[in-house]
Amino acid sequence: MQKVSSQQAIDTNIQAKKWWEREAEVQQDHEKGKNKWKALEHHGVTFFPAYQPHGGKPMDLTPEQEEICNWWAQIVDQDFSKKPLVRKNFEKSFIELFDQYLSDYKEIRKNRSTQEKKKEIEEKQKQDLIYKYCLIDGELEKISNIIVEPPGIFRGRGEHPLAGKLKSRIMPEHVTVNVGPEDPIPACPLGGHSWKRIISNPEATWLCHFKDERLEKSNNGKYVQLAADSRIKGENDRKKYEKARRLKKNIDSIKRNYQEKMRSQDVVDQQLGVCTYLIDKLALRVGNEKGEDEADTVGCCSLKVKNIQIEENNQITLDFLGKDSIRYLNTVEVEAKVHQNLKSFVQGKNPDDELFDRINASKLNDYLKEMMDDLSAKVFRTYNASVTLQNQFQEKDNKISEIDTIEKKVQFYEECNREVARLCNHQKEANKNHDEQLLKMKQVQTEKQEKVTQLEQELAKLKKGKSSNDPKLPKTVDLCLTALEKARAQLELQEMRVKKKDENKNLALGTSKINYMDPRISISWCKQKEVPIEKIFQPTLMNKFTWAMNIEPDYEF
DNA sequence: CGCCAAACTTAGGAGCTTGCCA
DNA sequence: TGGCAAGCTCCTAAGTTTGGCG
């Protein structure tokens, strides 16, 4: 891998290969069929360093610590030790014995000089450099993750049956490596060890695969994948949005199709129709069935009777835990036929029974493919998110004007973004100091308001030829007007900040920006409104979406 | 078909750095 | 000049989709 010699050489190479400007070649690539590459060269994956015993020397338990460990060992198989309260109390006392070391360690790390920290990072980057890039058909490409996951405690979300189980240390013997048939097999970075298997699968884009054998069935392992700004990921991303645009083009006939479907005499068809209606209208996930060893969450097809309330006036309330055990709670009006069908699906069932008992995700996707080539349920989320953003820009356009500041325009963008996040139910945990912080900001707002009022009063006085004696206040009408204008602008900014703070309390805007909204909508809007794109996209997104940067200002999704 | 594995995208939170204000 | 919120990247869990197999 000659090209991986220095960071500068890499940057130059990466800059040089703009795949989106070489569409002809990209077209040719399709002739390769299912194959994603002919040559693939890389250095494999690195490993989490072996555990460093505390302070580099073996840590003997103090007699006190050892004795306490023994106490627990004596009762560990008794019912007593299974009681949550017992475990909680014991754990607390136990951890107190050890956490002094950890907090000391943390403190030492924190107190290193800025220079020292910087040097450490630079050295790490230098070490990682050869692992960070691969060669795909001769082109240098960035890799996203180059180290296997460290051993530790599994942190499942929500009520996960496996939460707290141990994740074992991944060794080269757990790793399968995918390289080109003519390319060198990467050297195993751990002496005395060797890779589990070397394969050459050009239909896959992953470089390494590793699996913790200890975790159960639903764990299908992890991959070393290309970075988001690589050609292959970029092409896939663009294809995703093009497919969503195709859905937009066909949406009328698709709507007619599922409307007809839910009017069928066949319950299977009714369920397919209603499910598609809900996925289209509410941007729900498809909802695959889940295993015993996974958290109990649902999506559209796996909704249970207890997750829906059929209300008056064609309203329904959906209340369920979705992906990541995030709660979805929404009361909406649906079409009369949908309401009627849902009522019949609920009829005679128990709360834990499936609402759509005759279908599943796979059948639903089969149905979607009858209507549009390549259509699957997730495309509706991409389509809905992108259309929502575009519509928000249009509907709210009168809220901003050319003379507005960049900050105000950016706030406007966020307002539109929030509607998308709401649609997709992208929630986050509120900052634990949120209320306190908001109060402080509101106080600042009040002060700014008072300042404006004060200046307004002073202006009135000055116009009558009078003046206050306060030396802080302007002495002429002109000066006062300038000051007032400034104060009003400051007040408006603060009001926007307060609003943003409160509205973003439980909403995560990042997810839709990264995964759902066609970046070309945002970029063309920025061009129209003369907002620098960096104000909307952080550096990683600027890189991820470079393929979309040359879009015209009048792009329509 | 139903079931399962493989391969990929989507997700929230941890934890770091940055930048602002008192 | 240090305290703290905001911004951002990293991490890895948790989804979806497809296709092969009995």
Q: Walk along chain A (557 residues) and give the pLDDT tens digit of each residue.
A: 767 778 888 878 877 778 888 876 655 555 567 899 999 999 999 999 888 776 555 667 777 777 778 778 777 776 677 777 778 777 777 766 666 666 666 777 766 666 777 777 888 888 899 999 999 999 999 999 999 999 999 999 999 999 999 999 999 999 999 999 999 999 999 999 999 999 999 999 999 999 987 766 667 899 999 999 999 999 999 999 999 999 999 999 999 999 999 999 999 999 999 999 999 999 999 999 999 999 999 999 999 999 999 999 999 999 999 999 999 999 999 999 999 999 999 999 999 999 999 999 999 999 999 999 999 999 999 999 999 999 999 999 999 988 888 989 999 999 999 999 999 999 999 988 888 888 888 888 888 888 888 888 887 887 887 777 777 778 877 777 787 787 787 787 788 888 888 899 999 999 999 999 999 999 999 999 999 999 999 999 999 999 999 999 999 99
Answer yes or no: is A155 CB < 7 A from strand C. yes
Q: Provide the pLDDT for residue A59.
A: 63
Nucleic strand B within 7 A of Cβ A505: no
Give, as one character, the DSSP assignment of residue A312. Answer: S
Token couple for A121: 């990072």
Dihedrals phi, psi of A459, to nearest 5 degrees: -60, -45
CB A287 within 7 Å, strand C: yes
Whether A217 sits with its Cβ under 7 A from any strand B atom: the answer reads yes
The three state secondary structure string of A92-128 is HHHHHHHHHHHHHHHHHHHCCCHHHHHHHHHHHHHHH
Domains A10-50+127-232 and A395-548 share a fold: no
Give Rg (Cα) of chain A.
Answer: 29
DSSP A323: G
pLDDT at A510: 97
Residue A44 DSSP code: -
CA of A149 to C1' of C12 (A): 8
Task: Name the residue among A178, A189, A384, A201 with its Cα closest to residue A276.
Answer: A384
Considering all nucleic acid strands, name the nucleotide whose C1' atom is nearest to the C-alpha of residue A204.
B7
Residue A374 near residue A342, CB atoms below 8 Å: no
User: A284-304: buried (b, 16+ CB within 10 Å) or exposed (e) per residue?
Assistant: bbbbeeeeeebbebbbbbbbb
- A10-50+127-232 classified as CATH 2.70.40.10: no
Task: Measure A468 CA to C9 C1' (Å).
Answer: 53
User: Is A223 known to be catalytic?
Assistant: no
Between CA A278 and C1' C5 the distance (Å) reads 39
CA–C1' distance A121–B16 (Å)? Answer: 12
Q: Which nucleotide is nearest to A286 (CA to C1')?
A: C16
Q: Identity (one letter) of the amino acid at A431?
A: N
Strand, coil or helix: A479: helix
Whose CA is closest to A262, among A252, A251, A254, A271? A271
pLDDT of residue A64: 72
* DSSP annotation string for A243-256: HHHHHHHHHHHHHH
Q: Strand C closer than 7 Å to the CB of A145? A: yes
pLDDT of residue A27: 57
What SS3 state is found at A321?
strand
Report the distance from CA of residue A499 to the C1' of nucleotide C19 in Å, as an integer.
Answer: 49
Provide CATH code, domain A395-548.
1.10.132.10
pLDDT of residue A434: 86
Whole-number pLDDT of residue A233: 97
Q: For residue A526, what pLDDT is reported?
A: 97
> DSSP letter at A304?
B
Which three-class secondary structure state does DSSP give residue A446? helix
Q: Which residue is nearest to nucleotide B7 (CA to C1')?
A: A204
Domains in chain A: boundaries = 10-50+127-232, 56-114, 262-375, 395-548
Given A131, A258, A516, A555, which residue is catalytic? A516
DSSP run (H or E) holding A210:
strand A208-210
Residues 6+ apart with CB under 8 A from A259: A273, A277, A337
**How would you classify residue A211: left for phi > 0, otherwise alpha for psi between -120 and 50, otherwise beta?**
beta
CATH superfamily of A262-375: Topoisomerase I; Chain A, domain 3 (3.90.15.10)
